Each structure stands twice: as structure tokens, then as C-alpha cells.
Amino acid sequence: MTQPRFPAARPRRLRATPALRAMVRESALSPADFIWPIFVMAGQDAEEPVPSMPGVVRRTVDRVARAARRAEALGIPAICVFPYTAPEDRTEDCAVAWSTDNIANRAIRAIKDAAPGIAVMTDIALDPYNINGQDGYVRGGEVVNDETVAALVRMALAQAEAGADILGPSDMMDGRIGAIRDALESEGHQKATILSYTAKYASGFYGPFRDAVGASGALKGDKTTYQIDPANSEEALRMVARDLSEGADMVMVKPGMPYLDICRRVKDRFGVPTFAYQVSGEYAMLRAAAQNGWLDGRATMMESLMCFKRAGCDGILTYFAPEAAEVLGG
């Protein structure tokens, strides 16, 4: 595309006033773009801070209900629930993962009771319940695939029973989307949607999250035999094609900001609902710099979120959700 030469073209004309800038703005951010990840813990009427994620707390199930009503008031359509598990919930067989009464499933029901209009998203992976912090069973030093998928199916069904609207398999095992979809169909959960963590990279940016869910001390080894190599982008596209063919309704790229190229390629190639996860490490970096006075916290928060929309995302999982929604609403 050619532009007229200066001075016929003076691009600054369209940047000159807020009204003109608003008229030509290409992307828009609204609270409806956010999925708010929250951490749930056992107990009553309590919250505790997550030290590596300033401003983020773990809350008890009753406080989750309060968060759900806050989300509703702010126009945030969805909450994603992550459990903080005590060491005694971490076992060899990970059985707490599919217990109807584990705190994640209780939180799903509490959100549905408190704010029925909020969509509840889950995380499907064994790491909060696994003795070694891995997303799948470890046998002979290896994370095994098929046995893990069978457990993930049980976990997914328990979440759907609890009333989850959006199931989020984050484990990166092969065949899990198809297996979960088949089980949902045959067990009467035709309306449960799957937002697959499709392009989930083996990233150093998940560190603060692992503190938040109590997995840091538990994790033995790394996740490079199942999460994607950060050097790859064609592979991410193959994963999207595969997950869609197996029955995913929506796909996710994770982490977010360092992977905006992947977001754009996925959206352009497939045109399906595409989400990015602005993960714990991204949040921690921005917060820490702001707390030191090195960055303008509010400006960089809003800019980072807008960048996802520009990159083609339909929405963002972000710990900034309530704060950013407040900025947008006020």
C-alpha cells in the first residue's frame, strides 16, 4: 500500500486529538475480554497473599463467591479456578483430582450459586494433586501419556458434574481432547465447552503460579517432554489443527506477551476463538517493576492487554482482570 508523500500525508493529523485517535483506533479492550484466574484454598472466610504475585491472593471457597459477584459487577464474563493443594492432597494416584468435593469443584459450585451468569473455567492437569508436581503420572522416570489421559477424563467429568462451563486441559498429553470430548458426549455433558491449552510452551514464566498453587516445592524435573519448545511455531499450528479436529471449541496460546507471534498466526490460519494466557511471570514482572517505580503500572497493564487484542486474540486470561476492568469501567 502506498501513501501520498509528505506533506500531502501528515500521519500526525490523525493522532492530534483524543477524538481523532478514538475514530481510527483499530482494536478495543473491554471487561468482556477477560477471564480472571483465581486461586482457591481450604478454610473459611480467609485470604492470603501470594508473595511472588503482589496483589493476587488465595481465597477460601466462601470468598470465591464474593469474587464471583465482583466479576459480575465489573462485566468480567468468566473466572478460571485453580486449587492450592496441601501436601496431603498430593498422592501417587492423584485421586483428589476427580473427587466431587475437592476445593476446585466446590469453588465451581460456589461461583454458580453466587453468580449464575459467570462462566466457570477449570484447569485439567494432575499437577496440583500429584506427589511430584508433574501434570501426568510418572512411571519409571517418565511422564506417561495414556494412563494420564484416562485420569484427566475422570477429572473433566467431575468438573462438568460440578457445573463448569469451560474445561481447560492444560496438561499437553496427546489424545486428551478427543478422550475428554467423547466422555462428555456419552455422559450427557454436550454443552460443556473445551478451551484447550493448545500451544502451551515449556516456559520459565510459570514460576510464580507454581508458588501460588503450592507446586514449586513438589515439582521434580521439568515439563519439557510434554510442553512445547519455545523455539517452535509450526508445531503450535499443528497442535491447533489437532485439538480442533478432536473437539476443542476454543484454543489458547500460553504464555502470552512473549508469544504474540503465535497468537497472530493461530488467528490468521484458523479463525477460531483464540485466547492468550498472560501468565504469572508476566504479571509478576510488570507488578514488580511498577512497585519499584520503574514502570507506570497502570499504563503498562492496559498496554499489555491491548496488545493481545491487536495480535488477534478474542480474550485474555489475566490476573489483572478486576483491576483492568475497573480502569475500563471508570
Q: Is 309 a catalytic residue?
A: no
Binding track over 222-261 against ligand PBG, x by CB under 6 A:
-x--------------------------------------
Q: Which is nearer to ligand PBG, 15 or 220 (CB)?
A: 220
Cell of 330: 471508570
CA distances from 312 to 75, 120, 283 (A): 21, 23, 20
Residue range at the interface with ligand PBG (CB under 6 A); choices 149-157, 187-195, 203-211, 293-301: 203-211
Select the residue interacting with ligand PBG from 280, 284, 308, 318 (CB under 6 A). 280
Beta carbon of residue 202, minimum distance to ligand PBG (angstroms, whole number): 9
Under rule CB under 6 A, which residues in 298-327 are in contact with ligand PBG?
Answer: none
Q: Which is nearer to ligand PBG, 76 or 114 (CB)?
A: 76
Beta carbon of residue 319, minimum distance to ligand PBG (angstroms, whole number): 7
Question: Looking at residue 99, what DSSP letter applies?
Answer: -
**Amino acid at the residue 186:** S
Q: Could you tell me which residues come within 8 angstroms of residue 124 by beta carbon, excluding any fewer than 6 positions away?
A: 152, 155, 156, 159, 167, 168, 169, 170, 171, 176, 180
Determine which one of 112, 191, 223, 254 is catalytic.
Answer: 254
Q: Could you tell me which residues come within 8 angstroms of residue 80 by beta carbon, excluding any fewer than 6 positions away?
A: 35, 36, 37, 38, 120, 121, 122, 123, 166, 168, 317
Q: Decide: is 170 part of the binding site for ligand PBG (CB under 6 A).
A: yes
Contact 70, 322 (CB under 8 A): yes
Q: Decide: is 127 part of the binding site for ligand PBG (CB under 6 A).
A: yes
CA distance 58 to 46: 8
Q: Which is nearer to ligand PBG, 114 or 239 (CB)?
A: 239
Determine which one of 200, 223, 267, 309 is catalytic.
Answer: 200
Instruction: Return the percent helix, strand and coil in the chain, to nearest 5.
Output: 45, 20, 40
Q: Decide: is 135 part of the binding site for ligand PBG (CB under 6 A).
A: yes
> In the bound complex, which residue of the shown chain has the CB atom lying closest to ligand PBG?
209
Q: Decide: is 209 part of the binding site for ligand PBG (CB under 6 A).
A: yes
What are 130's strand-pairing partners? 91
Residue range at the interface with ligand PBG (CB under 6 A); choices 5-13, 14-22, 204-212, 290-298: 204-212
Q: Decide: is 167 part of the binding site for ligand PBG (CB under 6 A).
A: no
Q: Which is nearer to ligand PBG, 62 or 216 (CB)?
A: 216
Q: Is 223 a catalytic residue?
A: no
Select the residue interacting with ligand PBG from 40, 125, 240, 313 (CB under 6 A). 125
- Calculate Rg over the CA atoms of the chain: 20
Burial per residue of 251-283, b for 16 or more beta-carbon CB atoms within 10 angstroms, e otherwise: bbbbbbbebbebbbbbbeeeebbbbbbbbbbbb
Contact 168, 123 (CB under 8 A): yes
Q: Which is nearer to ligand PBG, 114 or 262 (CB)?
A: 262
List residues near ligand PBG by CB under 6 A: 123, 125, 127, 135, 170, 206, 209-210, 223, 279-280
- Catalytic residue set: 200, 254
